[in-house]
Chains A and B, each alone.
Chain A
Amino acid sequence: MLDTTETSFSRADWLGILARGTAAFITEALQKAPALPEFVRLRGPETGMSMVRGRMGGGGAAFNLGEMTIARCSIRDAAGRIGHGYAAGRDEALVELIARLDAVLQAPDLYPAYARAVLAPLCQAEAARRAALEARAAATEVKFFTLATMRS
C-alpha cells in the first residue's frame, strides 16, 4: 500500500484508496472538507459483476476463476468535471461518493483539502488493518531447528 506521507496520489492510486473505504467512513471524513459540488448522474450507481481472472500455474495464461460483485457510478459535477467510482461489493452509496470525489480530486486547487480529509485517513486505516493482519500472520511463522540426533 502507499506511504501515507506521500503528498500527491495519482488518479489510479486515489481510486484504489477510495475503493477500500465505506460510505459511512467517507461521509464522516467529508465533515472536515468543503461540501462536494452538486452533480448529475451519467451512469449508475449500479451493481453488477466482474469476472475475476487467474493465471494457470500462477504466472501463465489467464483463465476465468469466478465472478465477484462490483458497483460503479459516473457523474458530472456542477463544474462540468466527470468523475468515476468503482468498488468491489454492492455499495451504491459508496461508489457515488467515490465518483464525486474523483471529480474534485482532478482539480489541482481542490485536491489538497480532500486528500487531507479523506484520502489520508483512509490510507492510514487500511495500512493499520494490513499491518495488524501481517503481525498475526508473522507470529505463526515456523522457526525450524534441527533436533540433535540420539547417537551423537
Chain B
Amino acid sequence: MAYVAVKGGEAAIAAAHAWLAECRRGATDVPALDTEQIMGQLGRAVDRVMAEGALYDRELAARAIAQAQGDLIEAAFLLRAYRTTLPRLIDSEPVDTGAMRPLRRVSAIFKDLPGGQRLGPTTDYTHRLLDFTEPPTPAATANETAPPANQASTPAAMPRVTDMMGAEALLEPDQAGGDTPGDLTMEPLDFPAGRDLRLQGLARGDEGFLLALAYSTQRGYGHTHPFVGELRVGEVAVSIAPPELGFAIEIGDITLTECQMVNQFGGSKAAPPQFTRGYGLCFGHQDRKAIAMSLVDRSLRAAELGEAAKAPAQNDEFVLSHCDNIEATGFLEHLKLPHHVDFQSELETIRKMRADILGEAS
C-alpha cells in the first residue's frame, strides 16, 4: 500500500484545533473541571486510564481525561505518549500483595477467613438506581471520626486464601521465580509468550476486550468453572533498591486490585488432583478488570496445563495481539487518513471488471 504525502489543509487543521479547544472547555459560564475534581470524583476513570496507559500517576491520568473530554482510550493514548518522555530509572522490587492494607477483601469460596471479609466502598450491593439527589454534604472530617493515631493502625493479619489452600496442597503452588521477567515495552512480543509477558500484556489490556474474552470462557469457549478465591483492593508499598544506597527503600504506596481465581482441578496418573489458578493484578480499584484478567490468564495457561486450546481466549496470539487498545486504535483509525490514490486504483479495477462482465453479457 503506497502512502502519498498530501499538502494543504493547514488552515482547516488550525480551525479544527481552535474549535476542539472550545469544545473541551465547554460553556465558559460553567466552572472548568480541574484535576483534583477528576482524581477525587472520577477515580474509576483515572484507574482505568492509568492501567491502560500503563503508567501509575493519578494526576497525569486526570489531566489526560480532561484533555480527551472523557474519551478514555484517547486519554490512555495521551498517557502513553507522555511516558515516552520519561526515562526508566530503576525497576521496583516485586510488590508484596500479602502485605496490602486492604480496603476491600472478599472471597466467594470461604465464608470465614482469618482477618474477615470487608466490602470496601463497593457498588456491588447498590440497586443501580440513578441518583437524582443533590450531592450530599460532606460527612464529619476524617480526623473527627478516626480513632486516635496511637491505636493499632495495622489490620488483623489477612493471609492469602491461596496460601491457606496451598498449605493443604489442594491448590497448585505459585510458579517459582526465574531470571528477570520479560518486558514487552522493550522487546517486540513473540509467540508463544511466557506467562510473565502475558500478565504484563493483560494488565495494560483494554477492559472491554478482556471482559468479553473472560465472559466467553464462562459461556463455554474453553471450560474453566471458576470461583473467586479472593479479591483484594488496597494500598501496597513500592520499594526500590538504588545501587548508590545498596539497600531497598520504600518510595510510596499505590492502590492495586488483585484477584485469585480458583478453577477446575487438574490431575494425572502421576499427580493427585489440585485446583488450578488464574491471577489478575491491575492498577487502581478495578474489580471487573482483575477478575477478567484472572480468567483470561487461566485460559491462556491451557497448553501448560495439558488442555486442548481451541477457544479464542486460549489463543495467546489472538488475545495479546489485540488487547492493547492504543495499538488497536492506531491501526483502526488510520483508515480515516487519505487513501485517495489506492482507492483510485481500486475504482479503475472494479470499473474495468464490470465493463468486461457487462460487455460480454450484451
Contact surface of A with B, Cβ cutoff 8 Å: 1, 4, 11-12, 15-16, 19-20, 46-70, 72, 74, 84, 86-90, 124, 127-128, 130-138, 140-142, 144
Chain A residues near B148: list those with CB within 8 A: 131
Asked if residues B146 and A62 are in contact (CB atoms below 8 Å), the reply is no
Asked if residues A74 and B149 are in contact (CB atoms below 8 Å), the reply is no
Asked if residues A52 and B238 are in contact (CB atoms below 8 Å), the reply is yes
Partner of B146, one of A69, A87, A135: A135
Q: Which residue of B lies closest to A125 (CB)?
A: B149
Chain A residues near B116: list those with CB within 8 A: 141-142
- A–B complex contacts, Cβ < 8 Å, 19 sampled: A50-B89, A51-B88, A51-B183, A53-B91, A54-B94, A54-B97, A56-B196, A58-B162, A58-B163, A59-B98, A60-B176, A61-B175, A68-B56, A69-B86, A70-B251, A90-B57, A131-B151, A131-B153, A137-B104
Q: Which residue of B lies closest to A143 (CB)?
A: B116
Distance of A70 Cα from B180 Cα, bound (Å): 21
Distance of A14 Cα from B256 Cα, bound (Å): 24
Asked if residues B118 and A19 are in contact (CB atoms below 8 Å), the reply is no
Asked if residues A50 and B91 are in contact (CB atoms below 8 Å), the reply is yes
Asked if residues B195 and A66 are in contact (CB atoms below 8 Å), the reply is no
Distance of A135 Cα from B143 Cα, bound (Å): 11
Asked if residues A62 and B196 are in contact (CB atoms below 8 Å), the reply is yes
Selected interface stretch from B197-205, B267-275, B307-315, B346-354: B197-205
Q: Determine how close the nearest CB of chain A comes to the CB of B170; give it in whole angstroms.
A: 14
Q: Determine how close the nearest CB of chain A comes to the CB of B258; give it in whole angstroms.
A: 7
Chain A residues near B155: list those with CB within 8 A: 134, 137-138
Asked if residues B281 and A65 are in contact (CB atoms below 8 Å), the reply is yes
Within 8 A of A (CB), among B85-125: 86-95, 97-98, 101-104, 111-112, 116-122
Chain B residues near A135: list those with CB within 8 A: 145-147
Distance of A4 Cα from B185 Cα, bound (Å): 41
Distance of A118 Cα from B49 Cα, bound (Å): 35
Chain A residues near B184: list those with CB within 8 A: 64
Q: Does B6 contact A (CB under 8 A)?
A: no
Q: Which residue of A lies closest to B151 (CB)?
A: A131
Contact surface of B with A, Cβ cutoff 8 Å: 50-51, 54-57, 59-60, 83, 86-95, 97-98, 101-104, 111-112, 116-122, 142-143, 145-151, 153-155, 160, 162-163, 173-178, 180-185, 195-197, 199-200, 203-204, 234-235, 237-238, 240, 242, 244-245, 247-254, 256, 258, 260, 277, 279, 281-283
Chain A residues near B121: list those with CB within 8 A: 140
Q: Which residue of A lies closest to B281 (CB)?
A: A54
> Quick one: which of A20, A62, A64, A67 has the most chain B CB within 10 A?
A64
Chain A residues near B120: list those with CB within 8 A: 137, 140
Distance of A64 Cα from B56 Cα, bound (Å): 13
Distance of A1 Cα from B197 Cα, bound (Å): 33
Chain B residues near A51: list those with CB within 8 A: 88, 91-92, 183, 185
Distance of A66 Cα from B245 Cα, bound (Å): 24
Chain B residues near A66: list those with CB within 8 A: 50-51, 54-56, 200, 203-204, 283
With A54-B94, A142-B117 in contact, is A49–B174 under 8 Å at CB? no
Distance of A4 Cα from B240 Cα, bound (Å): 24
Distance of A90 Cα from B57 Cα, bound (Å): 9
Chain B residues near A128: list those with CB within 8 A: 143, 146, 149
Distance of A131 Cα from B153 Cα, bound (Å): 5
